[in-house]
Structure 1
């Protein structure tokens, strides 16, 4: 069954789509809702097979053919019978710097706002850098796809391309994707089940006395000039050190990264009742995990911080909270805000988000060519003061990418000082202050914000105090103290 039939009748939006529709409708003009990814393919690619295979994917994935209309009954979605958009092929191999030209072209595409009624909400392109190196670029508006969906489409396309290149061999059925109607059915079943009221009760009780959202800014301002972004690569040795700490404490790398970010924010602000946003897939069964669509949710992780809280205890508390979040992840953040009467004054539960993405495995394109995924830009679809994203990359020297991104430009073209400081520390354990013999310098949120307003983002120009973590990390994890201010 298709979401809508080929006569052009419309269907209601899913909960995830409605959240993005409202976000786009009331966001400032500079807010960008695009998700984009570039996949670096090492090896020869047949552009004719590539484009034909991508059109097969577009015919199978309804989200690539979605359009949205505003009606007297509210916003509706419609699936076009065939994909009518372009799939560009750019041969830049003759340019003096083909990679720079490719990055310029991709940046121009993913930084522009896409009209929901008339724009091409999904785009895929093949860029030739050399005979044995290509970039597969794909971009979508967040209302049609989330980050999980990008992985589904990438795997399906790799299977289709490989089969077509192998004399039209059979395409594996285990990667076949399902229509959006299957997602709508699961969403309806959830609302009619006993899980829905239990999830609602958990969240409303947990945040009946919700704290004010944490922010490193002294005041809210209109988004001017879009998002600022900085990226730092943690070398393999640092990533391995974090993995070792995780093994010592019986926890996971994502929980350590969330805990160390929370520790940094506590040291910067002194806020003890802290809520941080955690993105989740909100796909609680296999049927939902086969549908490329906008399903992702973001829910608050609430922590009780204090100056003498040991890092191991903080990490374990993050683990406990994460298990609760995943258990109740299907309850929409928008519904929770409505339950707590936050919609009237547009109050948020959080404006700081920490997103730790799982390692994306290599995709086989006809066997020998190797492939690595390199994300370009992923906006969560809602303005945030400080979104922090960490992603592990595959390769001989695995490393982590930490990407602090401030949601507002300051008018100077540089990121706010706290975002720059988190970026330039690089090492999450150092950012948390894991040395028991060296308390962190005292900082007040008002002083940081005041300095930023008076002098601009000084932290973007000067290196912050460097913390030597080598001695601390030689000590047993249970002896490290985290949060003295």
Structure 2
């Protein structure tokens, strides 16, 4: 026996789903996820690299290596990577920010060969002596959005401690091996069988979800995007409606998307995609890794029901989803005998990204900018709240093979009208609402400070359970 051979471990259920998707994907770069954190203040690049090296040494998911075993792709925890931080000074460029963003888009669009290439990349980009961007990119098979947030929080803490000549606190990260073992144990447990029974019963009639576009599904092929910044008062209004319905503000947004889909399609049976953490217990939530899941949330929307009643229904359904969130959507597709077909499991999706990103690097404030969350098969609404005191940012992303930029513009405006009606008149019937005229739609988009642009092909997400 070769004692030097690494101990191969099977992929988690979440990783296996990505691996199988990669086998048939036309553009594997769609499975890159990335963001950059804008640091408003000077940074000691040597100290930053030292802090990052420590964080990399602490996170076992960044040590993963892949090779093909008897049962397909397998992984092992290798040595600590010795890959230096990419440092680029763009301060002399005519437009430093544009040059930095161009570099990030290029790096993000590069397909990753898992058995050869590092599955992550970090870069520190200088715009001015007191203005930096920290870029983090991962292959989705090793990391989800929640895991990336854990890495960012730890890096800010370690860098700040070193800058203040303090000893960093002990690493909060848990064991990746324990997380993988718990995942394997779940798949042969009574909890797994109970979750399977719930999902197969809930979808025993094999419903066909409606979506906002005509025609068959299409593989993810580039993204059209529209970003909106609602007034600060919107979050207070959402919370007010949520309190009156015994719900949370994210559930109000979920209900608004269900109401909009109902009004646009005239269908009563609405199935939305709901990204979830798929992490149960404090130990699992301390491990940066790929665990997130997207499950169908099914609602029955009637024209005569009030918006508040729809919010109550959405809150109840969301609680059921979270109770059974570890059951993979890929497994449900197999249970429904939809594996290998183009049948959709859900229509539009709603992803609430309420991670705590009020980060400071040695006292310097930051702004977080999402780049890509993974493949977009249909239409997704991402809602960002980076701290308790921050306002909301809405980002609509759609599969460019199915939606044009104008399509997305129109959907954004009509959705905002539904959301506005819901918070202003929660007792009104859903079916009473007429959708916008072109003039009203244009005015609403202007009022909400829209910034829109299609993005090139490149590239899931997570939901804080306490806020769903």
TM range (shorter): 0.7 to 0.9
Deviates more, 1:346-355 or 1:125-134: 346-355
What are the equivalent positions in structure 2 for 1:448-467 lying under 5 Å apart?
A: 464=441
Note if 1:277 corresponds to 2:273: yes
Alignment pair present for 1:100 and 2:98 = yes
Matched, 1:336 2:343: no
Deviation of 1:112 after TM superposition, in Å, equals 2.9
CA contact (8 A) 1:149 1:292 kept: yes
Aligned equivalent of 2:195? 199
On the 8 A contact 2:297/2:321 being kept in 1, the answer is: yes
Matched, 1:420 2:409: yes
With over 3 angstroms needed to count, the CA separation of the structure-2 counterparts of 1:281 and 1:70, relative to structure 1, is: same
Matched, 1:69 2:67: yes
Q: Which moved more, 1:184-193 or 1:291-300?
A: 184-193
- Name the CA shift for 1:213/1:68 in 2 (closer, same or farther; >3 Å): farther
- Aligned partner of 1:211 in structure 2 is 207
Q: Aligned to 1:406, which of 394, 398, 403? A: 398
Secondary structure of the 1:308 match is coil
Give the one of 430, 455, 460 matched to 2:420: 430
Q: Identify which range, 267-276 or 177-186, moves more after superposition.
A: 177-186
Deviation at 1:11, TM superposition (A): 1.6
Residue 34 of structure 1: which of 32, 35, 49 is its match?
Answer: 32
Whole-angstrom distance in 2 between the partners of 1:114 and 1:463: 45
Equivalent position of 1:362 in the other structure: 358
Q: 1:393 to 1:423 in 2, by over 3 A?
A: farther
Cα separation, partners in 2 of 1:248 and 1:356, compared to 1, 3 Å: same
Alpha-carbon separation, structure 1, partners of 2:442 and 2:131: 41
Contact 1:30 1:225 survives alignment (8 Å): no
Instruction: Give the structure 1 partner of residue 130 of structure 2.
Output: 132
CA–CA distance in structure 1, aligned partners of residues 198 and 221 of structure 2: 38
Task: Determine the structure 2 residue equivalent to 1:50.
Answer: 48
For residues 94 and 421 of structure 2, what CA distance do their matches in structure 1 show? Answer: 40
Is structure 2 residue 229 aligned with structure 1 residue 242?
A: no
Pair 1:20 & 2:18 matched: yes
1:172 to 155, 158, 169: 169
Task: Output the CA distance in 1 between the equivalents of 2:128 and 2:282.
Answer: 39
Tell me which residue corresponds to 2:454: none
Within 2, Cα distance between the matches of 1:178 and 1:170? 20
Contact 1:223 1:408 in 2 (8 A): no
- Report whether the alignment pairs 1:374 with 2:369: yes
- Quick check: 1:142 aligned with 2:134? no
Q: Deviations over 1:303-338 (max 9, x none)?
A: 011111210000000000111111111111111111
Q: Which residue of 1 aligns with 2:343?
A: 347
Specify every segment of 5 or more residues in structure 1 that has no aligned partner in the other structure, as ranges.
444-458, 469-485
Structure 2 CA distance for partners of 1:274 and 1:323, relative to 1, 3 Å: same
Q: Please name the residue that 1:480 is paired with.
A: none
Provide closer, same or farther for how the CA distance between residues 190 and 245 of structure 1 changes in structure 2, counting only shifts above 3 A.
Answer: same
Q: CA RMSD in A?
A: 2.7
Match of 1:229 among 225, 240, 245: 225
| Matches of 1:333 and 1:165, distance apart in 2 | 44
Q: TM-score, normalised by structure 1?
A: 0.83
Q: 1:154 to 1:224 in 2, by over 3 A?
A: closer
**Structure 2 gap ranges (5+):** 446-468
For residues 418 and 279 of structure 2, what CA distance do their matches in structure 1 show? 29
Report the secondary structure of 2:204's partner residue: coil
**1:50-96 deviation per Cα after TM superposition (whole angstroms, max 9, x unaligned):** 11211221222122232322333211113331214342111122223
Shift of 1:287: 1.6
In 1: Cα distance, 2:287 partner to 2:28 partner: 30
Q: 239, 250, 256: which one pairs with 1:254?
A: 250
Comparing both chains, which one has the higher relative contact order based on Cα–Cα distances under 8 Å and sequence gaps of 6 or more? Answer: 2
CA contact (8 A) 1:372 1:394 kept: no
Structure-2-length-normalised TM-score: 0.86
Cross-structure match for 1:452: none
Number of aligned positions between the proteins? 439
Deviations 1:21-64 (A, max 9, x none): 11111122276011111111122211001112112212221222
Structure 2 counterpart SS, 1:155: helix
